[in-house]
Amino acid sequence: MFAFGLNTMNGYALLMFAIICGMIGAFIGQSRKCGVTGFIAGLFLGPLGWLLVLFNDQRRQCSECKGRIPDDASRCQHCGVVFEKPKPPPTQPPPENILEIYKTWKEKNPDKELPPHLMSDPVLDYKKWKEEKGIE
């Protein structure tokens, strides 16, 4: 009877300990984008799970210094390198005739800069996007 009671107490204590370990694991994992993994690792493995989470960093890596950085970082917080934001391709390409106007104008004035009304960003972005995709 007494032994049964003690075992139940131990069971509760162990459960509490496991949950606390899991919460610490989740806390460590949170800053590394693996909070759920952190909770599970801490719950079952305790302090060993925390170590696993510490080394299981899911964040983006800097291309220069390999340091971990937030996904939306525009500058590395470790080495200071500035990242160029990848531009999404234009959802709505400008009408083809704008490119035709640009081409004929460029043929007539090969040594001149584009006039402002042809310098609109969508046109240039679309041209660049087409070049990158290799579309003629």
Among 12, 79, 87, 122, the residue binding Zn ion under the rule CB under 5 A is 79
Q: Is 64 an interacting residue with respect to Zn ion (CB under 5 A)?
A: yes
Assess 68 for contact with Zn ion (CB under 5 A): no
Q: Which residues have a Cβ under 8 Å from the Cβ of 9 and sit 6 or more positions away?
A: none
**Count of beta carbons in the 10 Å neighbourhood of residue 113:** 8
Binding pattern to Zn ion, positions 16-55, x when CB under 5 A? ----------------------------------------
The answer to whether the beta carbons of residues 42 and 53 sit under 8 Å apart is: yes
CB of 55 to Zn ion, least distance (A): 19
Interface with Zn ion (CB under 5 A), residue from 40, 65, 98, 99: 65
Residue tagged 């500035």 (tokens): 82
Work out which of 35, 67, 93, 94 binds Zn ion, going by CB under 5 A.
67
Task: Cite the beta strand spans of 32-120 per DSSP E.
Answer: 60-61, 68-69
Handedness of CA 7, 9, 12, 15 (dihedral sign): negative
Q: Which of 78, 87, 103, 106 binds Zn ion (CB under 5 A)?
A: 78
77 binds Zn ion (CB under 5 A): no
